[in-house]
Amino acid sequence: MAPKHNSLKLKASIWTSLLLSLLADRASSQRILPAPTSNTITAVSECHLHSATQFCMEGTNEYRVIPPATQTAELSSTYTDCHTHGSNTYCVAPDGEEVEIVSAEANSTEQSHHREEGEVFGHAGLNCHFHAGVEHCVDKEEAGSDSRTHCEKVDRDYNIPLRIGLLFVMLVTSSLGVFGPILLASTRLKLPRRVFIVLKQFGTGVIFSTAFVHLSTHATLVFNNECLGELGYEATASSIIMAGVFLSFLLEYLSRRCLQWRIKSKETEGLDYSNHSVKKLNIAVLEGGIIFHSLLIGLTLVVAGDSFFITLFVVILFHQMFEGIALGTRIAELSAAYITLTKKLLMALPFALITSMGMAIGIGVIQQFNGNDPATLIAIGILDAFSSGILIWVGLVEMWAHDWVFGEMANTSVVETGVGLFSLMAGALIMSVLAKWA
């Protein structure tokens, strides 16, 4: 009986070992499997603001609160009775209004995507775009003919170091554009006559397009901005443009009459000096018209949102270089007998600095600037329209008509005439294309 008893004991031991082994394996597998977690949210609290956007906490998790577009009550510090509709989670405010909550971490990519397409961070119900740096926001849900324009300031995060760095890029580019023709004309190695014909006529086309396509259009759009309200006089922009033309004409006419009187009184050095003085005055008027809007360009450039800033900066960079060439070639033509190179460079200096100065001002007021404030719109509209009038007179009369009807282009060869016409049209065309973005 002993062997049989031992056999039974051996079998029991084997079965016990197998059972213990299975139990150990099951316990081990249960330890390595993650415990089920619940994503159910019952309430969020400790609500706070990042810029204009509200975030709330549920434990250590942060959620972004998306209020309904019609919400008018103040933001709450807690939201309770959280529940789901489909895949979206909603919580109830103390006033009974439902708000959607979204994981801040999971939604970061979506927020970046929306910002690229024009949605303002902190204004999820708005669709914003820029025109010449001035922001225009409308309700997404109301997009269409009945959309409501938002005129209040929109808070956003700006890349300030990038703007400061590009300020110096603008300074260098503007300087190259305006100083380049002056320095080239002063070198002993004289450039061919046709090179200066190209530069001058290209510049004339640039000024012509700037006056009509850029400034006149911008002034009209500004005065039609819904945030300004309905104007009592619809031709406000055109009237200010006309005033700019008339003032430019009056200034030149009176200056010419004064110079004629001085010639008759033998108080000048002759007709050449008189012509030089008139050219110098014309250039001063041209530069004044350019400076007005270049200051605005710099200001509105830096307050544009990051999603639009780089595109606008590149366009403005070419814009300012071309205008610099237009101004620089006219200054370079002044007679060296009456004005030194140093004085020519000093005449060009304000243009080289003005856009960067506008950018610096913009950086200083970037957190307070509201391009849709009525007072701001009126100031921008007046300066744009007045600058347009000045450049219309200078571009059409002093540059275009003077060169082609009374000046050097009136009796040029067929080749030079063709080169001049092509350059004139090229300048106008390129600046008109740039107007799509600026």
Structural domain spans, the chain: 40-106, 160-434
- Asked if 326 and 203 count as a contact pair (C-beta separation under 8 A), the reply is yes
For residue 407, the Cα-to-chain-centroid distance in whole angstroms is 39
Torsion of CA 376, 382, 386, 387, to 10 degrees: 20
Task: Provide the pLDDT confidence category of residue 145 given band limits of 50, 70 and 90.
Answer: very low
Calpha distance 253→255 (Å, rounded): 5
User: What's the CA gap between 186 and 340, in Å, rounded?
Assistant: 10
Work out the average pLDDT over 94-123. Answer: 57
Question: Where is pLDDT greater, at 27 or 252?
Answer: 252
In angstroms, the Cα distances linking 93 to 40, 55, 62, 122, 269 are 18, 14, 17, 19, 84
User: Can you give the pLDDT at residue 100?
Assistant: 87
Distance CA(70)–CA(386), nearest Å, equals 41
CA triple 323-329-333, angle to 5 deg: 150
Residue with tokens 């391009």: 371
Amino acid sitting at position 285 = V
| Spatial distance between the Cα atoms of 89 and 298, rounded to a whole number of angstroms | 44
Instruction: Give the pLDDT confidence score for residue 231 in this predicted structure.
Output: 82
Q: Return the CA Rg of the chain.
A: 35
| 271-276 contact pairs (CB < 8 A, 24+) | 272/335, 272/337, 273/338, 276/334, 276/335, 276/337, 276/338, 276/339
Average pLDDT over residues 306-316: 86
Report yes or no: 178 and 327 within 8 Å, Cβ to Cβ.
yes
Report whether pLDDT(5) > 70. no
Instruction: Say what the pLDDT of residue 144 is.
Output: 47
Q: Average pLDDT, whole number, for the chain?
A: 80
Highest mean pLDDT among 87-91, 156-160, 213-217: 213-217
pLDDT at 69: 57
For residue 56, the tally of other CB atoms under 10 A from its CB is 25
What average pLDDT does range 164-170 have in this prediction? 95
**Coil, strand or helix at 305:** coil
Q: Which residue has the tokens 């059972």?
A: 19
Among 337, 354, 248, 254, CA closest to 295: 354
Strand partners, 150: 137
The Cα 118–Cα 111 span in angstroms is 11
Q: Which residues contact 323 (CB under 8 A, 6 or more apart)?
A: 177, 203, 206, 207, 210, 290, 294, 351
**Pick from 20, 52, 1: which is nearest to 367 by CA?**
52
Identify the bridge partners of residue 130 per DSSP, sorted by sequence position: 135
201-210, 335-344, 390-399, range with the lowest pLDDT: 335-344
The answer to whether 295 touches 358, Cβ cutoff 8 Å, is yes
Residue with the larger pLDDT of the pair 105 and 55: 55
Residues forming beta bridges with residue 88, ordered by sequence position: 85
Mean pLDDT, to the nearest integer, of 384-390?
Answer: 94
pLDDT digits (tens, 9 = 90+) for 33-92: 333 334 578 888 888 877 567 888 888 888 888 877 555 556 788 889 898 887 788 898
